[in-house]
Structure 1
């Protein structure tokens, strides 16, 4: 570790200055704010706060052992001027809330606002970008995947879909039970908040508060309907058990990919094509007609009516084409 008295001379070396910037831009560094400058999201802080942090870091900050600390504010100000000279940061002017413009004054001043230009080591960012591109190409090449990978992707997709479904159902049921008692309880309340990041979506774990006034009648109505359904499920086990069994078969078919296995290949290929009744179907329809007037017709008249229906059907199909 370099002596504290040589802090200024130590940071005059650009390599050591970069190390200091890496520390200041890390999570251990001074707090920064976000803004837009030249249509780009940037991070800025006041010069005074930067100097205060460099002289007296916040409690609990782990200062790197290989970097000397600053004894006086003048040493910190000198290094801040070097940061501006090396264009690791520049001075900005606040034009509005969250809106900055670059200042013509390039000198460091504790009363000014300074925007970070230095973004640190980009190796991790480049690695993630490479992985993203490779992942995209890997997904695009799905048709040429080996069969076991296709099966694995199908199982993972179905499992994720079922997980989301059961999670949503579980959250809804827990909320319903507690809401009937007069309280709002949500498990993972921010799970579907699109404005939060992935980690923040799982915070807090739950929320619990009293319901608003005027919901008593609604709670009573929902409670009666819910417990009525529970009573039906208990007193009609055969019907409810059949429903549960059908859901189990549905999940099995979903994993096996056999939901349409009862259809022939021709039906699958022609599923979006118009269907035309066969001669046998038309004869059956004529024989089973409920119209009393048609029952009085002779066999020849029925055949003529059938041919007329066929001609009308062909004309309709021709018009549609």
Structure 2
């Protein structure tokens, strides 16, 4: 295999083996660092006979024998593209002295491939973080643009989820489980795989007929009620329109003072003056005679106060 004697060609092979088309790997911890590892036998088997559906690169020659694949794996060990280790527990790896390739051993990938894209993504992440931190000093038109873009994206996600749910409900009531973008919210998949397949349609499980009939009756009953109550439905539509206008204009909190807006995330605590004032009011209430609770006694007390005031005025004259 003279082709793989060149280190650059070995890097091309490693790029393919480390891609999604390469052999399956597992995650483990080696010296408190998360790594990908696989068994030497599986690596050799894949190089000699790849799994069905694998697209072998046209610029890489195929391995004709198992000995050729083992020789290349030994060269990968010598160049420290892969590192031999031992499996100590579930997901735990350890270092060993032996460095030679052996099909029975476990090997950790040290080669990380071309890091240009990774560095660019890291730089973009740092720049994006700095831009978000400096958002208050952005020009006004940029802040308005970001606000409109964020609100539009939020509404798009909400509409997408609603449409997916309604489509599933309609088709499920007739006996099929239909999903548009079924893997959209699968966290175990990558960005591209989340959009595959576009649709999925399978028959419902047996025994769901009563539930489907019940949901169908409830749904169509609600639709009939909405149609026969045009005034309430029109009010609902108008309220949603006002909500969208306030959302885009950023005036949902317009009925609050600026101080309340600034302190919206702060706990509501009374000041010392407010506490003392409230305490004085409670003391004053306790000092009043209990007869004041009666309306008649209160009227008589007011009359007495007026009489005393008149007597004082007469004496002064």
Shift of 1:207: 4.7
SS of aligned partner of 2:35: strand
Please give the alpha-carbon distance, in whole angstroms, between the structure 2 residues aligned to 1:180 and 1:90: 56
Asked if the contact 1:89/1:117 (under 8 Å) is kept, the reply is yes
**Could you say which residue in structure 2 is the equivalent of 1:287?**
none
| Cα displacement string for residues 260-289 of structure 1 (whole angstroms, at most 9, x for unaligned residues) | 345565776798688x9xxxxxxxxxxxxx
Please give the alpha-carbon distance, in whole angstroms, between the structure 1 residues aligned to 2:62 and 2:173: 60
Please, which of 203, 208, 213 is the counterpart of residue 207 of structure 2?
A: 213
SS of aligned partner of 1:43: strand
**Could you say which residue in structure 2 is the equivalent of 1:151?**
144
Shift of 1:162: 1.3
Please, which of 132, 135, 138 is the counterpart of residue 142 of structure 1?
A: 135
Please, which of 216, 228, 231 is the counterpart of residue 235 of structure 1?
A: 228
Please, which of 99, 104, 108 is the counterpart of residue 101 of structure 2?
A: 108
**Could you say which residue in structure 2 is the equivalent of 1:133?**
126
- What are the equivalent positions in structure 2 for 1:50-89 lying under 5 Å apart? 50-55=43-48, 61-65=55-59, 70-89=63-82
- Cα distance, 1:246–1:82 mapped onto 2, change above 3 Å: same
Please give the alpha-carbon distance, in whole angstroms, between the structure 1 residues aligned to 2:126 and 2:262: 35
- Cα distance, 1:229–1:296 mapped onto 2, change above 3 Å: farther
Please give the alpha-carbon distance, in whole angstroms, between the structure 2 residues aligned to 1:298 and 1:229: 59
**Could you say which residue in structure 2 is the equivalent of 1:31?**
23
**Could you say which residue in structure 2 is the equivalent of 1:93?**
86
The range that moved more, 149-158 or 178-187, is 178-187
**Could you say which residue in structure 1 is the equivalent of 2:284?**
none
Structure 1, unmatched stretches of 5+, are 1-6, 277-292, 305-321
Please give the alpha-carbon distance, in whole angstroms, between the structure 1 residues aligned to 2:226 and 2:80: 72
Structure 2, unmatched stretches of 5+, are 275-293, 306-317
- Cα distance, 1:299–1:20 mapped onto 2, change above 3 Å: farther
Asked if the contact 1:35/1:99 (under 8 Å) is kept, the reply is no
The range that moved more, 106-115 or 218-227, is 218-227
SS of aligned partner of 1:51: helix
Please give the alpha-carbon distance, in whole angstroms, between the structure 2 residues aligned to 1:89 and 1:270: 56
Asked if the contact 2:26/2:38 (under 8 Å) is kept, the reply is no
| Cα displacement string for residues 115-146 of structure 1 (whole angstroms, at most 9, x for unaligned residues) | 22111111111111111111111111100111
- Cα distance, 1:222–1:27 mapped onto 2, change above 3 Å: closer
Shift of 1:298: 4.2
- Cα distance, 1:249–1:109 mapped onto 2, change above 3 Å: same
Please give the alpha-carbon distance, in whole angstroms, between the structure 2 residues aligned to 1:213 and 1:53: 45
Count of matched residue pairs: 277
Shift of 1:296: 9.5
Please, which of 43, 48, 52 is the counterpart of residue 36 of structure 2?
A: 43
| Cα displacement string for residues 203-238 of structure 1 (whole angstroms, at most 9, x for unaligned residues) | 44335331452661x544443433232222222212
Q: TM-score, normalised to structure 1's length?
A: 0.70
SS of aligned partner of 1:92: strand
Shift of 1:58: 5.8
